[in-house]
Structure 1
Amino acid sequence: MRMRQDPHPWQELEQARWLVRLQADAPTTANATVSAQLLDAAVLTQAPGRLERARAADGALRLTSCRVLRNLPAADQLAGLALATHLFPGHIKGAIEAERLGHVCALTPDVLATALDRLVAAEAADWWSYDAGSEDITWALGPTLASQHASVAIL
């Protein structure tokens, strides 16, 4: 990872208990490397093979090239892909925490709401709603995207 010598990203990762920085043997210089130990065992076992990565990329490209997503901005396409990959098993409806969906799409809540509205206007989604109590977003895919999703078995 190229995080340079800025300590802030390292501190955030340590506070989140993702890693611990190892002591350096030599004094820190501009070109020094930082050694760290990953603490999350699940991260170490998540190494999809080349074939799995290729299939996932193919599925993502097939979904985002769907007629209803194709001409939307990249952020809206990513939101549509996120909705399609977070469906209830065997359904065209889904739910996810609003904060998590925003994080997955790298969108602020206001921008996310606008992107979801554009997905409904483009008929990529039939509807979406936000539940303030649970802070969940629920939705249903539009028929075209639902059909495309059904044909992409890996997502």
Structure 2
Amino acid sequence: MLSYLAAALPAQTSAPARLLALQCALRSTAAGKVEIPTGLVRGMRLGRGATALAELQDARWLYSPTLPGGRSGGFTAQLLDVAVRMQAPTLKDRSRAADWILRTCQRKELRELDASSRLLALALSVHVPSGPSGAPASAEQEVLARMCGLPAQGLVDVLDVLVRARFLRSWAYDPAPEDLRWDLVLQGQPSGEDSGLTA
């Protein structure tokens, strides 16, 4: 789903709008209708939810007849991108993934971080192989940057934020300079793969 959104949304889409789009895509019906309650908008900690929603409307990715009221109001919307309805996860898998995203973003290490840091934490978690292997995860730097709407050189600063927050134990460049590897502090946490959310 993260790869789909990286392709479907404009490159300059902000991290709060990407996090909101992720929840909308995962919570939509087969017809593309989505209802995001007030508590969910507040729980996502996106700042002004209306700003992220307006950004998705400006990108013509969804349409909502009314912007959410106040700082954290809920809304209903229609997803305009037909491709979102053809994504592979089943409704049950989508529901599990939406819940996993919220739980991951609410982890004590991430809760107070900005949306870009939380989005990168999600992207890194999705790439962690399931099982007790203990091996560091890895991915192409460009892929991670595209998923998070960051310039490739901007990843370094956000990775360092995640190390200081003790979400990551460490990160480094692989021998191939276009690849990154990292080690999550809390091994054994459910990965995106376990939750039904894949990159």
TM-score (norm 1): 0.62
* SS across alignment from 1:139: strand
Residue equivalent to 2:89 = 48
Identity across aligned pairs (percent)?
38
- Could you tell me how far apart the structure 2 residues matched to 1:56 and 1:112 are? 24
Residue equivalent to 1:60 = 101
Per-residue deviation, residues 82-114 of structure 1 (Å, max 9, x unmatched)? 111101332452000000011111111222111
Whether the 8 Å CA contact 2:171–2:182 is kept in 1: the answer is yes
Q: Which 4+ residue blocks in structure 1 deviate beyond 4 angstroms?
A: none
Alignment of 1:32-43 (within 5 A): none
Select 1:72's aligned residue among 113, 119, 128.
113
Q: Which has the higher contact order (CA 8 A, sep 6+)?
A: 2
TM-score (norm 2): 0.50
Relative distance call for 1:147 and 1:47 in structure 2 (3 A) is closer
- Could you tell me how far apart the structure 2 residues matched to 1:133 and 1:83 are? 18
- Could you tell me how far apart the structure 2 residues matched to 1:81 and 1:44 are? 22
Q: Which runs of 5+ in 2 are unaligned?
A: 1-9, 11-83
Instruction: Give the CA RMSD over aligned residues.
Output: 2.7
- CA drift of 1:81 comes to 0.9
Q: Which runs of 5+ in 1 are unaligned?
A: 1-8, 10-42
Per-residue deviation, residues 66-89 of structure 1 (Å, max 9, x unmatched)? 010111101100111111110133
Whether the 8 Å CA contact 1:63–1:148 is kept in 2: the answer is no
Larger radius of gyration: 1
Alignment of 1:1-150 (within 5 A): 46-90=87-131, 91-92=133-134, 93-131=136-174, 133-143=176-186, 146-149=187-190
Residue equivalent to 1:16 = none
Residue equivalent to 1:21 = none
Number of positions where the alignment pairs a residue of Structure 1 with one of Structure 2 = 112
Whether the 8 Å CA contact 1:80–1:119 is kept in 2: the answer is yes
* SS across alignment from 2:139: strand
